[in-house]
Structure 1
């Protein structure tokens, strides 16, 4: 007896969609794959009998999804898609770069107006750090100037 596709869709559609979602991990791809499964069922409904419909649909969903995964692996996304996505983001990126440059220039202006001594005073350097550096440099200088044994 031929399969009633409409009844199968109502009864097993959610199961097929879950299987496709699990395998493809993309809602749109899963919906398309589910539709493909039922289109195939519609094409071959006369040759198939209504025993084991859920198993048949599960197997068909698995095969359709595997074919989609294989196709995607063999035919990666066209570079044009990546280019279009990059162009779509370009105005936002350009605006961010402009704002970053503007912010940096605003932050650098007060420092540029100060002399080196004023900048150093504003930073309040740690004297202990400079004393350690001076001692280490003096020790290195003495060891370099000392004659070899």
Structure 2
């Protein structure tokens, strides 16, 4: 898609120049309609990424300010932050599910009068769900902390 106006041309040229300086392939560039001043970078790899900016950012910031924001977003791509966050989420979610089920199994297991182990599936399900929610909140806090740390 070709730029439709001078602002779009400036945006594409700026992202291209910054990507080249960062040593990464040119990311896709998008503008989305929102009065909020915002920008973000996303993508699975450095060669398959996107930088998006809001119309609010383009309308309310000077070119120098917008260029600084774009450089920040390009640095996320260059540093592989999206992949790092996806891997962290995967590891955290694995621990959430594993720990919840191990604890739920221990809580739901009991011994009857003959010393045989029995399990209550209702208790297992309830304990597992409650722990997954609780541990999920803790995992989200860890992920948010790491995200802020990377900023």
Higher RCO structure (Cα 8 Å, ≥6 apart): 1
Structure showing the higher helix proportion among its residues: 1
Structure showing the higher strand proportion among its residues: 2
TM, length-normalised to structure 1: 0.31
